[in-house]
């Protein structure tokens, strides 16, 4: 039996990618949209630009950086967001379509439009 770490045991497959536009469907930021800055597939989380902001107390590290209270984006669960389709202008589920030559592309389940493979 193969060992699994706690972080990867229940992590959903990350079909969301960096620079995708997503809408938050659960939690404090519900209904807001933003651009994905970073995806952390190991823990099933992602960071969205200017959403889920938290305040952190920062200690000065040398003369260049000042101390103070810093606002930064905290990760959200992948399950709490949906990708926005540009054509539908709505949050959609993602499908995978395999071409004849074996390449895969992400598609919108609502309209069938390609979501890009950036």
Domains of the chain: 7-85 (2.30.30.30)
pLDDT by residue, tens only, the chain of 118 residues? 455 555 556 666 778 999 999 999 999 999 999 999 999 999 999 999 999 999 999 999 989 888 999 999 999 999 999 999 999 999 999 999 999 999 999 999 999 999 876 5
pTM: 0.83
Cβ atoms of residues 48 and 16 within 8 Å: no
Q: Which of 72, 36, 37, 70 is nearest to 52 (CA)?
A: 72
Alpha-carbon distance of 58 to 65, in angstroms, equals 9
Residues contacting residue 84 through CB under 8 Å, at least 6 positions apart: 20, 21, 22, 23, 33, 90, 91, 92
Alpha-carbon distance of 76 to 47, in angstroms, equals 6
Residues contacting residue 45 through CB under 8 Å, at least 6 positions apart: 39, 75, 76, 77, 78
Q: Which SS3 state, helix, strand or coil, does residue 21 take?
A: strand
């Amino acid at each position: 039996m193969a060992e699994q770490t706690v972080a990867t045991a229940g992590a959903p497959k990350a079909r969301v990618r960096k620079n995708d536009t997503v809408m938050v469907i659960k939690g404090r930021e519900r209904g807001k949209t933003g651009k994905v800055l970073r995806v952390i597939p190991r823990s099933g989380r992602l960071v969205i630009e200017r959403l889920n902001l938290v305040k952190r107390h920062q200690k000065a590290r040398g003369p260049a950086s000042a101390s103070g209270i810093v606002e930064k984006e905290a990760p959200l669960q992948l399950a709490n967001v949906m990708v926005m389709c540009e054509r539908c202008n709505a949050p959609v589920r993602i499908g995978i379509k395999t071409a004849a030559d074996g390449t895969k592309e992400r598609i919108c389940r609502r309209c069938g439009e390609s979501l890009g493979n950036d």
